[in-house]
Structure 1
Amino acid sequence: MESFLVQPVSKRAARLSIGSFFFIAGLCFASWASRIPDIVSKLGLSEGGLGAVLFALPVGLMVSLPFSGWLVHHFGSRKMVLLSAVLYPLILCNIGLVQETWQLVAVLFVFGLMGNLFNIAVNTQAVSLEALYGRSIMASFHGIWSLAGFTGAAIGTLMINFHLTPFVHFCIITGAAYLLITLLYRNSLRKDINAGDDRPLFAKPDATLLKLGLIAMCCMVCEGAMFDWSGVYFQKVVEAPKGLIPLGYTAFMSTMAGGRFAGDKLVMRLGTLRLLQVSGLVIATGLIIAVAFPAIVTATIGFMLVGIGVSSVVPLVYGVAGKSTVFSPGVALAAVSTIGYLGFLAGPPMIGFIAHAASLRWSLGLIAVLGFMTTIISTKTRF
């Protein structure tokens, strides 16, 4: 432990460095998302075709999960952060160059694969720095990712108004990312917590990791529902005017980002268990309000509560997983991410199937039950 604590940079400098990598990851992903309509128009994709193409990204993510943990454990998170931070924006630029649908599928697969390696590596750095601080700082890093999402969306709108192509837009983002890497990479942590020990790379996750994965899965089902269905809900159920259709998504994203910046203080006051329990209750309450009272004001309030509820769950789960006594941080994070992302991937299609069989309100009502499962599973988990 002493060798881990001897770091050549200050904690503050390391925090700024790691935060910049969270920002790069969020900025690149949001930049891609902001130009999807342009790329769809360029390739002439239908809605169904777009759905099939977009599936390549989460497939790449899932394929990379077992290898990401091994790479981070074997080579260290610092090297993997640098590798992924350099390649992730470069792959983004290649998205802007695609001319055929199959090319987009291939590039998105690699984009998802590299994005997950980036996610595991930078969260391993954050877990190690959190150990140095001796208190929760994980939620603020995820807040930076959310802030980068807003920034990326705003820059995307600006680029569209200036009539710049996606390729030029993505090259500008890549240049900004490389500038941050050049300035701040040297202050990243040289050594991961518990690096060099003999913990297994491949083994059956213990009960605690499985429960943490289930908590993440329940939360990420709710996140996926908001990302993919909030606009549809406001359009078809709330029947909001066209200009207010994005209101639900904006409300959710705003409170999720704000909640993440407040999450570290909340966990210090309430503790991990209590905060997870409260988060599940808030998620369920928000969805029930939106379902029971599908008017603009009440649905917006409901989605704001969902954003508050989900904001701290994944950062807390990652923080606990990174302190596993069974696996190294990178491997533990990969195990929890694998289970969690199953919910993120399966949730939106499940909502669609239930909506087709019954209604969208029924779908979100059932998602509220999964949100409440965060509270139940947390109660049965040791922290």
Structure 2
Amino acid sequence: MENAPPDPLVRRHRRALQLCFAIPGLSLATWVTRTPDIRDRLGASTAEMGLVLFGMSIGSMLGILVAAALVARFSTRPVIVAGMCLVAAGVGTMALGTTVASAPSVAFGLLLLGAGVGLSEVASNVDGAVVEREFGRPVLPALHGCYSLGTLIGAGLGVAGAASGFPVPWHLAAVLLLVAVLLAFAVPGLRPGIGRSRPADAGSAGAGSADAGTAGAGSADAGPETAGSAGAGPVVVEQPATGGVRERRLYLDLRLLMIGGVVFGMTLAEGAATDWLPLLMVDGHEMPSGLGSLVYAGFAAAMAAGRFAGGPVVARVGRPVVLGGGALLTAVGIALVSFVDSPVAAGCAVLLWGLGTSLGFPLALSAAGESGPDTTGRVALTSRIGYVGLLVGPPALGFLGEHHGLRAAMVPVLLLMLVAAALSPATAPRPLRTGEPGRGDDARPLRTDGAAGREPVPSRPDRP
């Protein structure tokens, strides 16, 4: 029997997170689908567009690097809200930059957008891990599916705008208005207190002792008593504050680093498509601008389909098989795009590219959250690695594309897909160890093998 969420507030929180994941996807897809028009409006070369994109890289790195500390200090809710406000400010700044054809203004808008995505997505993934534990079944893939759904909507609007010749500044202004409306609906559903740190020596006399704090942010012990199931007041899911020692230990966790290798490769493949696919189709396969944007919409549709429909597949064959197979499928898609001189083959191969990468990020985050204690730290670190691949890595491909062409620039991404496939066994569920700190004998870990809600069997170490 499937675990029921402990409170209607959990369902409301999930709906709010669905919007919070959709907003960055909508905003980024708007930028991506109009990049050929923006490039022409700015009169920029491929290398110069790479420099413009580094605005997003700088902003996303700033957001990613400070997100975990801000969550520990203020909890996830204000970090998500601040990030979303930066996303809106970035879209507005790009609208102004394209109006005056100013590359520095567009780059600054991308900096704000990247910072907002980095802040909000790390915090949203921490929230998603909490909600996932409270539901007792995979939730993060569907939440990331909402990101892809937002991407698909943004891509559809971008294709329509490019085909009709709708002015880019007005298009960006309309998306800004839509982002503001969605944010207004999302914020009330976000519960306060999640992920906030407390002194390590505090709370020992409180109900549930310190273990309740470490369990709350998505660990195996999270339950109604740590999730605010009473229905009144905020949910306070805290982490013991132990300074930088615990984070340094995470960087020494070999299994977590292997999971990070998987997520870096998968998100780089996703980010390469997000930043370059329309230009890759236009410049590399000589497609019209509108058709290049339509190919990107196909990529986004494949991503969304994989994320929404992938749950039963994961339950049947397991997380490592899905991630390894997805990495190989992505490698095939990228190889066809890079080496086959056929626009039709390239357009079809993009569907393999999108489907293969669709579950990489959410499943790797679930694996990181289950890989040991301090789930908030593990999810935050893996999110950080993922967003480096998603937002920072792709601009560097522009410099390769300037000298060797965008099709050749995708070859390093293809090679990283093979590495991700080799590392995918590290994402297998960790065995439940009796007496492990923070994972008592009655702990109920999240199941990704189709057995969500079953009682754990301590005598069978091969069954998490």
Whether 1:109 and 2:111 are equivalent positions in the alignment is: yes
Task: Tell me: CA distance 1:305–1:68, structure 2 relative to 1, closer, same or farther (3 Å).
Answer: same
Match of 1:371 among 417, 426, 429: 417
Q: Is residue 270 from structure 1 mapped to residue 317 from structure 2 by the alignment?
A: yes
CA contact (8 A) 1:146 1:257 kept: yes
2:305 to 248, 258, 263: 258
Q: Alpha-carbon deviation of 1:338?
A: 3.3
- State the shift of 1:103 in Å: 3.7
1:46 counterpart = 2:44: yes
Q: Residues 14 and 288 from structure 1, CA distance in 2 versus in 1: closer, same or farther, beyond 3 angstroms?
A: same
Shifted more, 110-119 versus 171-180: the winner is 171-180
Q: Give the residue type in structure 1 aligned to 2:147.
A: W
How far apart are residue 291 of structure 1 and its match?
4.8
Q: Is the 8 A contact 1:135 1:268 kept in 2?
A: no
> Is 2:26 the partner of 1:27?
yes
Q: In the alignment, residue 136 of structure 2 is paired with which amino acid?
A: G
CA distance in 1, matches of 2:39, 2:407: 29
- For structure 1, the residue ranges without an aligned partner over 5 or more in a row are none
Q: For 2:67 and 2:113, how far apart are their aligned partners in 1?
A: 14
Q: What does 1:78-89 align with in structure 2 at a 5 Å threshold?
A: 78-89=77-88
Give the structure 1 partner of residue 70 of structure 2. Answer: 71
* Deviates most, 307-316 or 210-219: 210-219
Whether the 8 Å contact between 2:336 and 2:349 is mirrored in structure 1 is yes
Distance 1:64 1:187, change over 3 A: closer
Match for residue 329 of structure 2?
A: 282
Structure 1 residue 17 and structure 2 residue 21: aligned?
A: no
Shift of 1:255: 1.3
Report the counterpart of residue 54 of structure 2 in structure 1. 55
Q: 1:355 to 1:366 in 2, by over 3 A?
A: farther
Distance 1:18-1:339 versus aligned 2 partners, 3 A rule:
closer
1:335 partnered with 2:381: yes
Q: Which moved more, 1:122-131 or 1:145-154?
A: 145-154
Greater alpha carbon shift after TM alignment, 234-243 vs 187-196: 234-243
- Structure 2 segments unaligned to the other structure (5+ residues): 195-215, 218-236, 430-464
Is the Cα contact below 8 Å between 1:82 and 1:185 reproduced in 2? Answer: yes
- The equivalent residue for 1:126 is 128
Shift of 1:341: 3.8
- The separation in 2 between residues aligned to 1:125 and 1:212, in whole angstroms, is 20
1:198 aligns with 2:240: yes
Judge conservation of contact 1:127–1:323 (CA < 8 Å) in 2.
no
Counterpart for residue 453 of structure 2: none
Greater share of residues in helix: 1
CA contact (8 A) 2:319 2:428 kept: no
Q: Classify 1:92/1:354 alpha carbon distance in 2 versus 1 (closer, same or farther; 3 Å).
A: closer
Deviation readout 1:184-216 (Å, 9 max, x if unpaired): 432223453333231545322222321121111
**1:74 partner amino acid:** R
Q: Distance in 1 between matches of 2:172 and 2:406?
A: 36
- Kept in 1, the 8 Å contact 2:52–2:107? The answer is yes
Residue 323 of structure 1 and its aligned partner are, at CA, apart by 4.2
Measure the CA separation in 2 of the matches of 1:97 and 1:362.
Answer: 34
Shift of 1:223: 2.3
Give the superposition deviation at 1:313.
0.4
SS in 1 for 2:146: helix
Q: CA deviation at 1:80?
A: 1.8
Q: Report the counterpart of residue 210 of structure 2 in structure 1.
A: none
Please state how far the C-alpha of 1:296 moved relative to its aligned partner: 3.6
Superimposed CA distance per residue, residues 232-278 of structure 1 (whole angstroms, 9 cap, x where no aligned partner): 55456656677755565344332122111112222222222221122
1:379: Cα distance to partner? 2.0
Contact 1:159 1:169 in 2 (8 A): yes
Indicate how the Cα distance of structure 1 residues 173 and 68 shifts in structure 2: closer, same or farther if over 3 A, else same: same
Following TM superposition, by how much is the alpha carbon of 1:8 offset from its aligned partner in structure 2, in angstroms?
5.7
Q: Secondary structure at the match of 1:198?
A: strand
C-alpha change, 1:201 and 1:269, in structure 2 (3 Å) is farther
How many angstroms does 1:324 deviate by? 5.2
**How far does the alpha carbon of each residue in 1:154-187 deviate from its partner, in whole angstroms, 9 at most, with x for none?**
3345567585662x54444344333333334322
Q: Which runs of structure 1 show a deviation greater than 6 angstroms over 4 or more consecutive aligned residues? A: none
Q: Which amino acid in 1 is paired with 2:127?
A: Q
Question: What's the CA shift for 1:348?
Answer: 5.8
- Offset at 1:225? 3.5
Q: 141, 150, 157: which is aligned to 1:155?
A: 157
The amino acid of 1:273's aligned partner reads P
Q: Which deviates more from structure 2 when the two are superposed, residues 248-257 or residues 345-354?
A: 345-354
Q: Is contact 1:216–1:317 with CA below 8 Å preserved after alignment?
A: yes
Q: 1:309: Cα distance to partner?
A: 0.9
How many residues in Structure 1 have an aligned counterpart in Structure 2? 375
Structure 1 counterpart SS, 2:239: coil
Distance change (3 Å), C-alpha of 1:354 and 1:255: same
TM-score (normalizing by structure 1): 0.83
Deviation at 1:91, TM superposition (A): 3.6
Q: Give the aligned partner of residue 144 of structure 1.
A: 146
Shift of 1:340: 3.1
Per the alignment, do residues 227 and 163 of structure 1 end up closer, same or farther by CA in structure 2, a change over 3 Å counting?
closer
SS of the equivalent of 1:173 reads: helix
Which is higher, the Rg of structure 1 or of structure 2? 2
Q: Structure 1's 294 and 254: CA in aligned 2 closer, same or farther, altered over 3 A?
A: farther
Q: Distance in 2 between matches of 1:237 and 1:53?
A: 20
**What fraction of aligned residue pairs are identical, expressed as a percent?**
26
Q: Deviations over 1:70-108 (max 9, x none)?
A: 111221112222232334213422332345544443333
| Distance of aligned partners of 1:6 and 1:269 in 2 relative to their CA distance in 1, 3 Å threshold | closer
The change in CA–CA distance for 1:50 and 1:315 in structure 2 (over 3 A counts) is same
Deviates more, 1:191-200 or 1:134-143: 191-200
Q: Which one is further off, 32-41 or 74-83?
A: 32-41
Root mean square deviation, CA, Å:
3.3
